[in-house]
Each structure stands twice: as structure tokens, then as C-alpha cells.
Structure 1
Amino acid sequence: MKPLDPRLLRYARSTRAYLAVTVALGVTLAALIVAQATLLADGITAVFLHGATAASLLPTLGWLAVVVAGRGFVAWAQEVMAARSAAGVKSELRRKVLARLAEIGPRDRQPTGAVLTLVTRGLDALDAYFARYLPQLVLAALVPAIVLARLLPADLVATGTIALTLPLIPVFMALVGLHTEAANRRQFRLLSRLSHHFLDVVAGLPTLKLFGRARAQAGTIRRISAEQRRLTMRTLRTAFLSSLVLELLATLSVALVAVGIGLRLVSGHLDLATALLVLILAPEAYLPLRQVGANYHASAEGLAAAEEAFAILERPVPAAGTGPAPTGTIAFEDVVVRYRDADALRLSALIQPGEVVALTGPSGCGKSTALDVLLGFATPDSGRVTVGGVPLSGVDLERWRRRIAWVPQRPYLFAGTVAENVALGAPGDVTEALRNAGADTFVTDPGMPLGDDGSGLSAGQRQRIALARAFHRDAPIVLLDEPTANLDADTADGVMAAIRRLAAGRTVVVAAHRPELIALADREISLAPAVVA
């Protein structure tokens, strides 16, 4: 990532205002540094060379107090603005990343663990970038230039020495930064991998315990965690060593300036006021560059996360149609959907209005992908899908999806009441929908609270809540993805009875394995296995 990536200005507009304020504060701080050095040099010279009294120094001391207070105020203002800007940028990037992931759809979506790491800890690490790195970067561009401009008429030799040694620090920073940036990217990717794997293990822990594989997965997590720890310590070691190099380089540069000043002062070629001014301002010229190097490592994780966010935001999404939602026959016309090196779906079929169709075939043949294509979550690589002769690619997907009720294989239930989970914001009473779905046998009150992901409910009960959603939506098209998977025979019978009621007068497309579920359909469409290129 560049020192100030222009994509930050494009995707996080609040960065622009913060950058403008930071530049203004940087100019003010640089001016105050020069004023403080001038006042100190003049005051010390007045005391040692001219015997100035405390009374005669009161104006100088008063202005010095004002300058010091001004520097404190500018530092405080930078901290406040940095905190506000960081919060605004993180919130803006999170909203845009999640919105883009929703537009991309499930086919090309990143692993859940990686997304969670990015939008939580990853973007939170931008605090160090805005609070420490970016202000110092602005000061590194402004303070040395203003200090050199002040010293140029006072002492040409010292100005030349500082001007020649200042570029050495950015050169070493760039060399160290190239190594550190790559290491931090590896560290962030490993953290995302660890988070995703841990999330999968937690979600599948009952199954792992059932088949005795929990200990093996615990060993995998320990191995990835140890690798993450080693990489983190290696990155920290690089950060400490680079800080040592920059501090040593800046110290030697200041010492070089001080030696020259001392020799010329002793020989009488330089006056005390100028010597003091140079000695006070020289460290100030190097300080912002040293701070940039020191704070870069603290912000590197945030920069790596921002790169991941930009990669998501720059991923192309299918062009959205604008036409109204059509009605009529659904036609798959030589549709091919590819994923990596395999055909995830190859399908040519017609689905008439009011027809119940079962998509069958072995696992991986594209049954769920066919439903994703109808939902607009996947785009055919070749061929097209039409509804009533109208290509789905030219249809407004939001309007089209209002005509669809979708019941996934494992529906997600939110923390809230049963009624809220069934209605999903749509108006109306959910009691009849619960009764039609057979959920009234365990839901005594629609206001009954549910835990996150329906904790406390069985798989069959969650599936009936999802069917109640479809009844409440009352859409003319219903898509069902293996609605009886992982259910025992009695529970599956109850779910299929609810599906019979749901299918009345609607077009239903169901991905099915069970013969009993296939028997509910008017006809069967068999999909061929995936073909690897």
C-alpha cells in the first residue's frame, strides 16, 4: 500500500476532510516549532551574552508559553481528529464491504471467517494508521521543509548538512518497509485462515465429536496458531530492529550537524544565537521521519486489512438489469456455470408456471447452483435464463426476488422472536404461516424468543420456521434446497406435508435427494455430474 493510497480517498470520503485538517495542523505545528526554537535561542543568548534580567525576559517567556501551549493544543486536536476520522473511515469501509459482498453473491464470496476478521480486528487496526502514521507522514513532509527554509538564511553549511542527511532516513525506511509490508500481509492472511478454520470447527463441533475428529481439529488449530505466533514475533523483531536503525541514523545525523556547529562556534565563524537555533531545530527536522518509521509497523496490519477491503470493493459484480419482474415459463437455455476448472452446472430445461419440479443428481452436479442462478446469485458463463421470454440478466433483481420464496438447506435464524424471524420485516400476522408450516406444534406464542441461529431448536424445527417464512411471503415462485436433508424420517414426513401445502398454486423448484421428496414433484430434471476441464 502506498503512503496514502488514493483508494482511501475514493472509498472513504471522510479521509479527505481529515487529510485537509491534518495538513493545516501540520503547517501550524511546523510554524510553532520554528517560533519556539527562535524564542529559546534569542532568550538564552540574551541571558548569557547581554545579561538580560528576568523582567526584560517576560515578553519572551510569555510568547514562549503561548507557543508551547499552542503545540499542546495542536497535538490534542490531531488526536481528536484522528480518532473521529478513523471511526468514520472504518464504519464507511465496513458498510461498503458488506454491501459489495451482498452484491457479489454466494458464488464468489470470501470465507466467512476471513470476512469476520477483516471487518472486525482487521479494520480496527486502522486506528494506528490514522492516529499515528498519517499525521507523522504529513509532518514528515512539512516540518523538514519549513525548518530548512528557516535555517537557510541563518546558516548555509548546517542547512546543507541536514538536507544531505535527511533523505537517508526515507531510503532505509523504504528498504525495511518492503520486507515488513510483505510480512504483515502474510500475517493477516494467516490470521484470516485461522479465524475461518476456527469458525468452521465451532460450527461443526457436534459432528466432529460424533465421529471422533475433534482432537485432530484441535491439533490443526494449535499448529496454525503456533505459525501465527512465530510470524507475529518475526514481524515484531523486524519492527524493533528497523526502529533501532532509524534512531541510530537520525542520532548520527544530528551529531554530525552538532560537531560542525561546535567547531565553527569555537573558531568564531558562527554566533551563539545561530548555533543555538540550528541545534534546537536540527532534531526537530529528523523527528517526524523517525516517527513515521516507528509508527509504520503499528499501522501495517491496518494497511494490510485495507488492501483486502479494497480488493473486495474492486471486484466486479454482474450488471444489474432494470426491467420489471416477468412472469411465465422459466427456461434454462444451454446454461453453463463454471467454478475454477469445473462445470458447476450444465442445464437446458423448461419449468412451466404452477409446476413442481425436482432437480436431482449426485452431489456436486449443480442443483444448488441452479437455484443460485434463479436467485441472481450466480451468472451463467454461457447460455441464458429467461422468464416468459425475458432474459433474467435484464431484469431488476430486487423486483424479481420479491416474487421468490427461498428455503435454503440450512436456514439461518436471528436472535429475536419467532414472529420477527418469520416476517423478516414484512407486515401481517404470522400465526397462519406457522400453522401451515406445522410449526405451531412447538411454537406456543409467536412472541417466543429465539437465540442466535435458533439455538435450542432442532434441525426440523428450524426448517419449519423457514417454511413458515415462505408461507408468510406468499410468493408465486418457491425454491427449496434439500429441505429434508439431515432430518429423521418422522420429521421429514412433517416437512414434506408442509411442502405439499406450500406448493399449491405455486411454481416450485426443489433440489432433492430423497425419493419421498422427489415423489412430490410433477416431474424430475436430472443433472449430469460436474465436468473438469
Structure 2
Amino acid sequence: IVLLRALVYWWGEILAHRGAAKVKEYLRQNLLNHLFALGPVYGRREDTGRLISTLVEGVEALEDYFSRYLPSVALAAIIPLGILAVVFPRDLLSGIIFVATAPLIPLFMVLIGNLADAWAKKQWHILGRMNAHFLDVLEGLATLKLLRRTLAQGKIIARLSQEWAKATMGVLRIAFLSAFFLEFFMTVSTAIVAVALGLRLVAGTIPFEKAFFILLLAPEFYAPLRNLGTQYHAGISGAKAAESIFALLDTPVPRRQGGQRMAEGHIPDGGIAFQEVSFSYTGAQPALDRVSFTLRPGERVALVGPSGAGKSTLLQLVLGFLEPQAGRILVGEVPLADFHLASWRKQVALVPQAPYLFNGTVRENIALGRPEASLAEVQQAAAAAEIHEFILSLPQVYDTVIGKGGRSLSAGQAQRVAIARALLLDTPLVLLDEATAGLDPENEMLIQTALGRLLAGKTAIMVAHRLSTLELADRILVLEQGKIVESGTHQELLAQKGVYYRLRQAYRGVA
């Protein structure tokens, strides 16, 4: 019996840990794939710290759930049933005692379940808040130092840490308490079997060999049930983590995935057409309200308007991160929703206002969309983006690691790296989102030169306010409260003395 138990537990441990590792790998991959499908709009809306808790601590919390709790459940079902199958044919009374005393342990687990569940839920909630606050403090460290708020933030983190420690101790207290009572119930149950067998042995109603055999089986019968109770807190913690994981996996993707592939290298005849497109964020006024316009192949259109007019939303719709709630977007004669997203995005390059650079080399960041590009191609794109000379001054030239977010680069240098990235992609459609905002005159001049090269022969949509960028546009669309209120060239719109004229006057006054 001892040897069989050792073999069962040994194989169980190996299989459980292998299974847990596979499940964690599968979940992480699925979570990342689902986050990619949800897109950056979801990432901006959700608390990054809580997402990190789900992706890291949440998945890790399932280790004990799959490697310890679930095997305990299986063993608690299999081993007692197997022992009952052996005991009942040999001694009916002992089998009845086993069946009568076995529910004591599961009953106790049910009684403490609600209390354990409440503490585990509280612990997981505080952990998410603490992670989110740590991330906020790290990202806003300079602001906190400047405003002399580091001490206050330190107190908040200390308070959250104390709350988390208190919740953790609450979970552990329940675990220790349950372990004590489970050991007590197992001892009492085994004692009941032993006393019953002893009395019957004295009375001569059961042979010694049979009584001794059943007495040896008694601890083996209760041990899996006790072990299940011991691992019950791991099951509760894993269940709480699983709730957040599956809540993320159940979040609906904002747009459906079409299956049609798009021919690379050009925008189809007919261009890109917005037909009565509307979109609203939850609980907000329409970001776009029945917007209609056509972007012809090779045409460059600028979007101008006050903050909140819908310019960035329009770009998100073109990129496929959002889907129109009314109306449709056509590429050629085909609805954008019918195209496979990866196929469509191969045709698009985006230069945002604040480009994100990853913790890698300059070359890796420029070649992010084309990792197979040669060094000569990367250098050619960098030269066209007016960043090559600066890169040559770096310690390891193109192999220099620039750090997370490009922290070793200025805003203008990071912007030119992003333009080099877009130049290397060489897509037929280019999107610019305030690509020159907040730059000094020298950097703006360099970037305008680079943008001129990037846009040569391309179809483009540009969100811009600077006159130097607007001069690159063939047509300007003026948005206000989600609607196109004016359309024309720079000079035509100035002559109308409408919304565009007022925006230009206000911008000149600020400048």
C-alpha cells in the first residue's frame, strides 16, 4: 500500500506540474493574442496595472490550482472509491462507517468556502490596485519629484502594501485553521474506525487479519480528503485569478475579421470612401456623425479641427482598431470589414505624435515592420528620415540599444526613427497623427523634409495644425463635433473665414 501510494503521488506530481506548465503557456499565448485582437483602444481604456496583474500574477496563480488542487480533487474521488470497493465486500459495517464519516471533511470545506472566497477576492483586488499604483508612480516619477509628492505616494503604497499583507494573512489564517480542523476530523474518523474494529475484535465478530487490513486502509481512505482540504485555498485563489483571466478572454473583439486578401503595393481604383460613417464611445457624444468623403489614390488629405472633433477616431477606423457603428468604409469597391486585417495593415504606415520605441537597438526599431530588411535598407530609410548622421554618432551606431520608449533619444529624434520605420515599410497609405506637434523649429524642419520624402507618391491622411504640414496636403477637411463642416485648400478655407479661419487665427495667437 505504501509503495503504491508513493508511486501514485510521484506520477501525479510529475503529470500535474507538466500539465500546469502547458496550461499556463496556452493561457498566456491566448491572452496576448486576444489583447492584440482587442487593439490599442482597449489598452488605453483599461488599467495597465490590472492587465499586468492578470497576465503575470493571474496566470502564475493557476500553477497551484492545476498542479495541486485539481490533482487533489481527482485523488479525493478515485482513492476513497477504490478503497470502498475493496472494503465493502470484506466488511459491510466498516464500509458504512467510512461512508458516514467521509462527508465531514467536504462539509467543513463548504462551510469555510464563503469566508475563504471573500478573502481571496479581496487579496486579488488589492494586488491589482497596488500594481496599478506602482506603475503610475514609476511613469510619473519626474512629476512627483517636481511637485514634492513622493512622500505622499510612498504612504499610499505603504497603505496598499499593508492592506495586501492583511488580506494575505486572512487567506493564510483560513488555510491554517482549515488544516487544523481537517487533521482533527481525519484523526477522529480514523479513531472511530479503530474503536469499532477493536470492539468487534474483542467480541469475536471479525477476524484479526481482516480488522488489521481495514485499519491499515483507514488513513489511506481519509488522506486524499484531508489533502483536498489542505489545497482548498489554492483552489480559491486560482478561481479568483481565473475570473479575471476569462473576463479578459470574454471581452468581445471590437470588429469582425474578414477573409479577403488585398493586393499589396497600391490603393485600388476608387480609393478609400467613408459613407455616412458614425461612431460613439460608450456613454459619450458621437465622435463621428455621418462622415462622408473619398480619398482618391495618390491624394493627401489633412484633417483639422478642435480637440475632440473626431480626427484620431477617424484614423483608428482606417486602421481597423474600431469598426463603424453606422455607415461603412470602402477600399475600392470592397467594404473594409471584408478584408483580412493583417492583409489591410500591410498597406498602411502610421507616424503618431508620440511614437513608441521598444527596448532594442536602433536597427531593430527601424526594421520593426520588416525585420528581414538588410542593414543597407535600414540605413537608406534612416538617411531619408534625416536621422542617419545622428545614428552614426552613437557608440554602437545602428546596434546601439536605445532603451524602453527610446528614453535616450529626444522627441524629434524618436519621431525621425518612426518616420524611418514608415519609409522602410514603403506602404501605399500613410497616416500622420500630429507628427510635428511640440517640436522645436530645427527638428520640425528636419521632420518636414523627411515627411516630404515619405509622402512622395503616397495616399495620405494627416492630422495636423502646423501650416508646414498642411502645405503638404492636396485637400483639407475641417471637423467639428464629429462632422465635416468645411472642405477645400488652405487658401480656399481661409477665404471662407469659417471654422478653419478661426482655428488658424487661434493657433497663430498661441504660437
Listed as ranges, the matches of 1:468-507 within 5 Å are 468-507=420-459
Deviation (angstroms), 1:299: 4.3
**How far apart are 1:99 and its partner, in Å?**
0.8
Counterpart of 1:373 (choices 317, 327, 352) is: 317
Instruction: Quote the offset at 1:224 in angstroms.
Output: 2.7
CA shift in 2, pair 1:273/1:513, >3 Å:
farther
Contact 1:344-1:369 at 8 Å conserved across structures: no
**Number of the residue aligned with 2:25:** 91
Give how far 1:410 is off. Answer: 2.4
Alignment equivalent of 2:98, drawn from 136, 147, 162: 162
The yes-or-no answer on 1:404 pairing with 2:348 is: yes
Aligned with 2:231: secondary structure? helix
Moved more, 212-221 or 459-468: 212-221
Taking the aligned partners of 2:281 and 2:475, their CA distance within structure 1 comes to 28
The count of corresponding residues between Structure 1 and Structure 2 is: 465
Q: How does 1:270-349 map to 2 (within 5 A)?
A: 270-317=206-253, 318-325=255-262, 327=268, 328-343=270-285, 345-347=287-289, 348-349=291-292
2:373 pairs with one of 427, 430, 443: 427
Contact 1:373 1:380 in 2 (8 A): yes
Q: For 1:198 and 1:529, locate their aligned partners in 2 and report how far apart those are by CA, in whole Å.
A: 37
The whole-number CA distance in structure 2 between the counterparts of 1:69 and 1:265 is 28
For residues 232-243 of structure 1, what are the structure 2 equivalents within 5 Å? 232-243=168-179
Unaligned stretches of 5+ residues in structure 1:
1-35, 37-67
Q: C-alpha separation between the residues in 2 aligned to 1:263 and 1:160?
A: 16
Report matched runs for 1:119-518 at 5 Å.
119-317=55-253, 318-325=255-262, 327=268, 328-343=270-285, 345-347=287-289, 348-350=291-293, 351-424=295-368, 425-428=371-374, 429-444=377-392, 445-514=397-466, 516-518=468-470
Partner of 1:48: none
1:82 aligns with 2:19: no
CA distance in 2 between counterparts of 1:357 and 1:217 reads: 46
Instruction: Give a deviation string over 1:418-459, Cα, whole Å, max 9, x none.
Output: 222111214241112111111123110333333233231122
The CA deviation at 1:150 is 1.3
Gaps of 5+ in 2: 484-511
Which whole-Å deviations, capped at 9, do the CAs of 1:458-484 have from their partners, x for residues lacking one? 222111111100111111111122223
Query: How far did residue 169 of structure 1 move?
Result: 1.8
Contact 2:58/2:244 (<8 A) preserved: no
- Measure the CA separation in 2 of the matches of 1:417 and 1:260: 76
Could you tell me how far apart the structure 2 residues matched to 1:358 and 1:214 are?
Answer: 43
C-alpha change, 1:102 and 1:449, in structure 2 (3 Å) is same
Q: Aligned to 1:316, what secondary structure does the other structure show?
A: coil
> What CA distance in whole angstroms lies between the structure 1 residues aligned with 2:142 and 2:251?
36
2: distance between equivalents of 1:236 and 1:362? 55
What secondary structure, in the 3-state scheme, does the structure 1 residue paired with 2:41 have?
Answer: coil
Q: SS at the partner of 1:442?
A: helix
Q: Is the 8 A contact 1:113 1:196 kept in 2?
A: yes
Q: Structure 1-normalised TM-score?
A: 0.81
Secondary structure of 2:318's match? helix
- Give the Å deviation of 1:515: 5.2
SS at match of 1:405: strand
Q: 1:122 touches 1:301 (CA, 8 Å); kept in 2?
A: no
SS of the counterpart of 2:52? helix
Partners of 1:121 and 1:358 lie apart in 2 by 45
SS at match of 1:416: coil
Q: Amino acid of the residue matched to residue 525 of structure 1?
A: L
Taking only the aligned residue pairs, the percentage that are identical comes to 45
SS at match of 2:317: helix
- Aligned residues of 2:257 and 2:338 also touching (Cα < 8 A): yes
Deviation for aligned residue 1:101: 1.0
> Which 10-residue stretch deviates more, 355-364 or 435-444?
355-364
SS of corresponding position for 2:383: helix
Aligned partner of residue 42 in structure 2, secondary structure: coil
The alpha-carbon deviation at position 392 of structure 1 amounts to 0.7
CA distance in 2, matches of 1:467, 1:413: 12
Cα distance per residue 1:282-328 (max 9 Å; x no partner): 22211111111111213433333233222333333232112233624
**How many angstroms apart in 2 are the aligned matches of 1:209 and 1:355?**
47
The 8 Å contact of residues 361 and 402 in structure 2, kept in 1 or not, is answered as: yes
> Cα 1:310–1:411, aligned 2, differ >3 Å: closer, same or farther?
same
Residue number in structure 2 paired with 1:3: none
Structure 2 CA distance for aligned equivalents of residues 508 and 527 of structure 1: 17
- Assess if the C-alpha contact under 8 Å between 1:321 and 1:397 holds in 2: yes
SS of the residue 1:106 aligns to: helix
Task: Classify the secondary structure of the residue corresponding to 2:224.
Answer: helix
How far apart, CA to CA, are the structure 1 residues paired with 2:163 and 2:465? 41
Q: Per the alignment, in what secondary structure is the counterpart of residue 285 of structure 1?
A: helix
CA deviation string 1:29-52 (max 9, x = no partner): xxxxxxx3xxxxxxxxxxxxxxxx
